[in-house]
Structure 1
Amino acid sequence: MDKNKNKEEKKTDKNSKTGMVYLTGAGPGDPELLTLKAKTVLQEADVIVYDSLISEEILSYAKDGCEIIYAGKRSSNHSLPQYSINELLAEKAKENKVVVRLKGGDPYLFGRGGEEAERLFKDAIPFEIIPGISSSFAVPAYAGIPLTHRDYASTVAIVTGHEGEHKEKSTINWDKLSGADTIVILMGHKNLDSIAKNIISSGKDKDTPCAVIQEGTTLNQKAAAGTLATIKDEADRHGLKSPLILIVGNVVKLRDILNWFEKRPLSGLKVMVTRAEGQAGTLIHRLKRLGAFVMNLPLIKAVKGGSNIDRAKIHEAIKNIKDYDYIIFTSVNGVSGFFDEFFLKGLDARSLFGKKIISVGKVTSLELKKYGIVPDIIPSEFSQTGIINIIKDTELKGKKILFPQALKINAELPEFLISRGAILENLPVYETVIPEKSKEEIYEIFSSLITTKGNGAKRVHKNIGLPNDLSLSSFVVSFTSYSTVENFVNLAEGIQKGLLKRITGSGVKFASIGEKTAKYALGFGIKSDIISKDVNIDSLVDGIVDFYRKNKI
């Protein structure tokens, strides 16, 4: 046998290897309803082909370098026709890539997943189906409507409200479907009036309770209830649009007592979270659980080792670490910025023996523990003021104190230490910049306040990830530090001179963490409607809830 020929054949086989396609359900809209398996394949994918109702949060699971292709279809507006999507999946798989076809709901329930699977089978391309939570039952559940109930319904029918455009006439047998106790119609907005009339003409009482739900399970969810005779008018009166689900049956009567999603304390409220990138998780989680629509727009991005950071100075401080009596940390970035350099020099926690470590609070302390450091002092008030209060009776004269920090910080603590005779080494280990994406989104949010020569700016949302209703009277901007205040002001005035004044006079509410942040904001003309009692995230959230308990959203 010719060994060289055999090697060449093996090489050819390897190059012609086919990849894998996962036809994946993304669920009904709420990113937390994505399945674990769907998340896993998204993180492994080389290519993601996604539909119009997929949130940015779900797409964020994609790995760096993943090719993300939009293939959305909304009613008659198709970015890619179905046959082109089928060919695209096959083409990408033949490039030996892991492909995720990401669909709203479930791929095999009115998702055309069957057609895509048939195309893959034709070319012997391996595929798997990852079911998703279907909007057919998830959306009614979020609207307080169980599809079955011992007193009301034992049978359920699920119907498409938008049949294939290639059909000359409808193939839906309404006469048989009308016998079901509960009927769920998906994608029915365009044909809502004719659907209701078909169900009535097939035997359902015109007074049968109905509900229509727009963008169910998301924080854009809106709903209206009525009867078969009135539901089209109710949907129009509430301004409901696609994507929309219609539920017909007596189970709709239960909505009045079982509607939990729309009755949470902060439902209808939009909150801009401005904390630094990667540090807003706790705040976002709590606000979402309470029903708020959270826009994560960090106004701070920590940059370590930038051109403005003097690494030689950091290395000199580390070299002389034995000379310091105290080391103070007031941020997560201060901890990582210092210890990343510290450990690179071959040192470890033993080098800090005898030093008093001061941490501003719980989150900073948790970051210290990652490096094997347990702080000696943590104030009850998580702020520079809290540190001052806890060490104000300590003899500091002649004590050498190292303070790893941002390039620009609040001078309150440094001034106190120097006034008490301490020998202070302010050590910038990172600087903060404004993320570009936040600049763009803040422009979009406040575009209605931006004066133009024409009729004003028009907002165009890229996908379902942003709120449809951006009424500024139900909008809160949160400030968690001096930097978030200052960067917000600079962004607003950078977009258009005078925009800040228009924002503060538009009905937007402002929530500040602690009196000092509120006072700093007031210096720019921003009056805080909500001021947390304590300087921590839980207190800030409690303050927002208390405010809207007294003031209707």
Structure 2
Amino acid sequence: MPTGKVYLVGAGPGDPKLITVRGLEALQRSEVVVYDRLAGPQLLNRIPDHVERIYVGKRPDRHTMKQEEINRLLVDLALQGKTVCRLKGGDPTVFGRVGEEAGLLRQHGIDYEIVPGITSAIAVPAYAGIPVTHRELASSFSVVTGHESPDKLDRSIQWDKVTNATGTLLFLMGVAKIGYISEQLIRYGRPPETSVALVRWGTRAEQATLVGTLADIEAKVKEANFQPPAVIVVGDVVKQREELQWIERKPLFGRRVLVTRARSQASELADRIDELGGEPYEFPVIETRLPERPEAVQAIREALACAEAYDLVVLTSVNGVEYFFRWLERTGTDIRRFHKAEFAAVGPKTAEALRARGITPCPLPEKFHAESLLDSLGGRVKAGQKALLPRGDLARELLPKELGALGVEAVSVDVYETVPTGRKDEFLLELLREGGIHAVTFTSSSTVTNLIEALKGMGEEAPAELLAGAKLVCIGPITAKTAEKYGLSVAACSEASTIDGLVQTLIDSL
């Protein structure tokens, strides 16, 4: 059996977007991912579900796996011919023990690659508005481990040389030893009034910053019960925070938002949340696909076969547009055969999707749902006309029913179907139980139904109670009514059934 390969990858400080392009490539091409506590969980959602995931990180209460065991695990997996990604928080070469892992791989003749990551020593202070260097304040910096007992610190750190060696001192994993660190720095020449900042969980929703001086920082840490992990910054650069704070000024800073819509559509909403300083947690509970049922396929083919007969084609979603054109291609139906028909769209995104394909829809309704569409059509439809409604299998029957009442022959076909993803995410359950999800967004009734079912599938008997600690924000009243049927308390509902409307409602409710 040929030997596999191991990628030793730095995941960055926590924000999944801060992984390098090379690191993401290695993650996505691997068959096994070996990861620890500091690797952001959302990175794992960017790899295929069939990839094996092995957690080897350390928890505050216990060590899941010793370093020697991790080293051996990487060797064993590679000898089985597997491509392995060892995903580490920050940069693997900065207190990441990558030398031990790479050394054993080399001894066994296993091919490996070290993929650098953005170290938390630099990135975490930057997210708190603290540059580690400044032309007028500090032209150099040192990175020191603080995760040792005082006697070990004294053996590994030459305090008399380190204290004033560089303008900025950065201590990783030293919260528990902050008093001793401050004491030593003062003893060897740093003024007691030297500025200090502790930044916890930098780049994540839990990011918090505590500022003081060498003289009082220990007392402040105890008073605030400031817990690790955190980066400690010592030096005049800390004063820059007053002017350079940036992410903390964004409206969704400190908020983790659960995004439940289909994976293919989640990116737009997730990107908006990210731009506004929030942390999107993507958990797509639905996915769309072409229907495979013979009767559904036959119905579509029959509906498209008489394209010339339609006076109106109504699209109620971007998915409807996408799958309608996929069926045109699949059946070899020329769009010009619909020359007699006027196209109508529900919502600006649906209209935009049509315009992108060279079709200008009739004027939009003021509100983006079927009822308003009927009102906006007004005198455009007449008895005896024929309308095609390409839509999803979960679409409401209101539109065809009301068109029928007007004497219009409405032909509804399911050009796509919505199915649950069946995904499981234990880390999401942990976040919900601990209050780590601050808001949940629902973009359709199906996302509500399938999130409830997904939570039940993960063993939660009372999903409504689990979600009670988060603000639930719905896109439009119909989705809100579905949520309420499941016993969910809706915090806010956007008046406009658009992503822009949902995002603004989210900001207002948090």
Please, what TM-score do these two structures have when normalized by structure 1?
Answer: 0.80
The 2-side partners of 1:517 and 1:26 are apart by 37
Aligned partner of residue 190 in structure 1, secondary structure: helix
Contact kept? 1:299, 1:438, Cα under 8 Å: no
Q: Match for 1:66 among 25, 34, 51?
A: 51
Q: Match for 1:269 among 237, 255, 259?
A: 255
Q: Cα offset for 1:49?
A: 2.0
Distance 1:469 1:94, change over 3 A: closer
Aligned to 1:225: 211
- Structure 2 residue 361 is matched with structure 1 residue 376: yes
Aligned to 2:474: 512
- Structure 2 residue 288 is matched with structure 1 residue 281: no
Contact kept? 2:347, 2:497, Cα under 8 Å: no
- Structure 2 residue 105 is matched with structure 1 residue 142: no
Aligned partner of residue 374 in structure 2, secondary structure: helix
Q: Match for 1:194 among 153, 174, 180?
A: 180
Q: Match for 1:314 among 286, 297, 300?
A: 300
Distance 1:540 1:50, change over 3 A: same
- Structure 2 residue 83 is matched with structure 1 residue 98: yes
Aligned partner of residue 225 in structure 1, secondary structure: strand
Q: Which amino acid aligns with 2:319?
A: N
Contact kept? 1:31, 1:55, Cα under 8 Å: yes
The 2-side partners of 1:154 and 1:445 are apart by 40
Aligned to 2:199: 213
When structure 1 is superposed on structure 2, of 266-275 and 296-305 the one drifting more is 296-305
Aligned to 1:364: 350
Aligned partner of residue 107 in structure 1, secondary structure: coil
Deviations 1:105-151 (A, max 9, x none): 11111111122222223233333222111111110010111112233
Deviations 1:208-251 (A, max 9, x none): 22111111111221121122233233233333322211111122
The 2-side partners of 1:489 and 1:398 are apart by 43
Task: Report the count of equivalent residues.
Answer: 507
Q: Which amino acid aligns with 1:138?
A: A
Q: Match for 1:251 among 230, 237, 241?
A: 237
Q: Which amino acid aligns with 1:42?
A: L
- Structure 2 residue 329 is matched with structure 1 residue 343: yes
Contact kept? 2:327, 2:415, Cα under 8 Å: no
Aligned Cα RMSD in Å?
A: 3.6
- Structure 2 residue 74 is matched with structure 1 residue 89: yes
The 1-side partners of 2:505 and 2:191 are apart by 49
Contact kept? 1:51, 1:104, Cα under 8 Å: yes
Q: Which amino acid aligns with 1:262?
A: E
Contact kept? 1:208, 1:228, Cα under 8 Å: yes
Deviations 1:157-209 (A, max 9, x none): 11011259997973211111110321100111333332222222322223322
Contact kept? 1:357, 1:375, Cα under 8 Å: yes
Aligned to 1:451: none
Aligned to 2:110: 125
- Structure 2 residue 22 is matched with structure 1 residue 37: yes
Distance 1:96 1:368, change over 3 A: farther
Distance 1:393 1:492, change over 3 A: farther
The 2-side partners of 1:122 and 1:442 are apart by 39
Aligned to 1:19: 4
The 2-side partners of 1:407 and 1:89 are apart by 46
When structure 1 is superposed on structure 2, of 253-262 and 213-222 the one drifting more is 253-262
The 2-side partners of 1:223 and 1:263 are apart by 13
Deviations 1:402-446 (A, max 9, x none): 212233333442233122210012223444455444797886566
Q: Match for 1:293 among 260, 270, 279?
A: 279
Distance 1:295 1:334, change over 3 A: same
What runs of 5+ residues in structure 2 fail to find an aligned partner? Answer: none
Deviations 1:446-497 (A, max 9, x none): 65xxxxxxxxxxx5xxxxxxxx645xxxx43433334445666788999989
Distance 1:309 1:436, change over 3 A: farther
When structure 1 is superposed on structure 2, of 34-43 and 46-55 the one drifting more is 46-55
Q: Cα offset for 1:392?
A: 1.4
Please, what TM-score do these two structures have when normalized by structure 2?
Answer: 0.86
Deviations 1:281-305 (A, max 9, x none): 2122112221223333445444543
Q: Cα offset for 1:361?
A: 3.5
The 1-side partners of 2:48 and 2:471 are apart by 37
Contact kept? 1:200, 1:228, Cα under 8 Å: yes
The 2-side partners of 1:408 and 1:319 are apart by 24
Contact kept? 2:9, 2:114, Cα under 8 Å: yes
The 1-side partners of 2:108 and 2:363 are apart by 64
Aligned to 2:317: 331
The 1-side partners of 2:154 and 2:249 are apart by 42
When structure 1 is superposed on structure 2, of 91-100 and 243-252 the one drifting more is 91-100
The 2-side partners of 1:47 and 1:272 are apart by 26
Aligned partner of residue 22 in structure 1, secondary structure: strand
Distance 1:112 1:146, change over 3 A: same
Q: Which amino acid aligns with 1:69?
A: I
- Structure 2 residue 500 is matched with structure 1 residue 541: no
The 2-side partners of 1:292 and 1:168 are apart by 37
Q: Which amino acid aligns with 2:439?
A: V
Deviations 1:345-382 (A, max 9, x none): 34343444443333324443565678x56353362544
Q: Match for 1:414 among 372, 379, 400?
A: 400
Distance 1:47 1:480, change over 3 A: closer
The 1-side partners of 2:153 and 2:129 are apart by 37
Aligned partner of residue 72 in structure 2, secondary structure: helix
- Percent identity of equivalent pairs: 37
Contact kept? 2:328, 2:335, Cα under 8 Å: no
Distance 1:439 1:368, change over 3 A: farther
What runs of 5+ residues in structure 1 fail to find an aligned partner? Answer: 1-14, 448-458, 460-467
Aligned partner of residue 245 in structure 1, secondary structure: strand
- Structure 2 residue 413 is matched with structure 1 residue 427: yes
Q: Match for 1:478 among 441, 453, 465?
A: 441
Q: Which amino acid aligns with 1:480?
A: T
Aligned partner of residue 256 in structure 1, secondary structure: helix
Contact kept? 2:351, 2:361, Cα under 8 Å: no
- Structure 2 residue 364 is matched with structure 1 residue 401: no
Contact kept? 2:142, 2:169, Cα under 8 Å: yes
Contact kept? 2:285, 2:423, Cα under 8 Å: no
Contact kept? 1:21, 1:128, Cα under 8 Å: yes
When structure 1 is superposed on structure 2, of 76-85 and 258-267 the one drifting more is 76-85
The 2-side partners of 1:71 and 1:36 are apart by 24
Aligned partner of residue 364 in structure 2, secondary structure: coil
Distance 1:516 1:51, change over 3 A: closer
The 2-side partners of 1:542 and 1:302 are apart by 26
